[in-house]
């Protein structure tokens, strides 16, 4: 089963809305930076992983969701996140920041290591309950994103698609971009780490995922 959003999307209003966007009193803490499965946390808490091309904005998205600017390390230099980073959220679950793919200038040996590490995590991690596949709203699906999407489906991994950096687009271009993303059968969640668009909706989707496990 997939946690891709249906076209209509959930509609939550009133107090439940505030509940689904808990950044104000959220406890978010860095726990581990792992280069191999031996150093993954062993608590067994459910995990949400953030995946996407290098520099797409995964770490910024984690910071926006938690309301902590410096929690995950961000950089305009691609390939900055090179290990799997675990953040414990409210003592209830983990956000997992994965190294980005598609960074052609990294040494071949590094690329192979990252690929193995990511694949091993996605394939074997029993506590992984949902993947957030992050796209640049301006670029939409690129070949490696589609490869990952198919891989997740083949391995029956739940995922939702987030289209980030929407602040960099005119509304008309954004609508066009979102339509193109929908052609692959998913409802993308528009997001911006710069202005907070989509933070609430992403929390709603993640909260539902945790509740319906
Ligand atoms: N305008 C704008 N810039 C963003 C947004 N999200 C990320 N950025 C910028 O994009 C660059 C990359 O962001 P990161 O969050 O480090 O990207 P990443 O996917 O974690 O990158 P790697 O760890 O290298 O794979 C940084 O300069 C961010 O400030 C966004 O929503 N809007
Ligand atoms: Mg990063």
- Domains of the chain and any CATH numbers: 15-211 (3.40.50.300)
Binding site membership of 70 for ligand 1 (Cβ less than 6 Å):
no
Residues in the chain where the model's pLDDT stays below 50: 1-20
- The residue whose CA is least distant from atom 12 of ligand 1 is 55
- The pLDDT value recorded for residue 203 is 95
- The residue whose CA is least distant from atom 27 of ligand 1 is 76
Q: Print the SS3 string covering the chain.
A: CCCCECCCCCCCCCHHHHHCCCCCCCCEEEEEEECCHHHCCCCCCCEEEEEEECCCCHHHHHHHHHCCCCCCCCCCCCCCCCCEEEEEECCCEEEEECCCECCCCCCHHHHHHHHHHHHHHHHHCCCEEEEEEEEECCCCCCHHHHHHHHHHHHCCCCEEEEEECHHHCCHHHHHHHHHHHHCCCCECEECCCCCCCCHHHHHHHHHHHHHCC
* pLDDT tens, position by position, 94-122: 999 998 887 666 667 777 777 888 899 99
- The pLDDT value recorded for residue 10 is 32
Binding site membership of 55 for ligand 1 (Cβ less than 6 Å):
yes
Q: Is the model's pTM score more than 0.75? A: yes
């Amino acid at each position: 089963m997939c946690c891709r959003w249906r076209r209509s999307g959930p509609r939550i209003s009133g107090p439940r809305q505030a509940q689904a966007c808990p950044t104000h009193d959220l406890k978010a803490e860095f726990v581990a930076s792992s280069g191999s499965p031996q150093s993954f946390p062993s608590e067994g808490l459910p995990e949400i992983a953030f995946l996407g091309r290098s520099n797409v904005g995964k770490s910024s998205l984690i910071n926006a969701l938690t309301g902590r600017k410096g929690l995950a390390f961000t950089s305009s230099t691609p390939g900055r996140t090179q290990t799997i980073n675990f953040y414990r959220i409210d003592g209830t679950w983990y956000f997992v920041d994965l190294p980005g793919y598609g960074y052609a200038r990294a040494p071949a040996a590094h690329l192979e290591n990252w690929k193995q590490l990511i694949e091993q995590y996605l394939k074997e991690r029993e506590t992984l309950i949902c993947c957030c596949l992050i796209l640049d709203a301006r670029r939409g699906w690129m070949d490696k994103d589609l490869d990952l999407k198919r891989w997740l489906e083949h391995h029956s991994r739940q995922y939702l698609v987030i289209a980030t950096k929407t602040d960099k687009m005119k509304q008309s271009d954004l609508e066009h971009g979102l339509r193109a993303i929908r052609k692959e059968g998913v409802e993308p969640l528009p997001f911006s780490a710069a202005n907070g668009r989509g933070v609430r909706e992403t929390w709603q989707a993640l909260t539902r995922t945790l509740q319906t496990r």
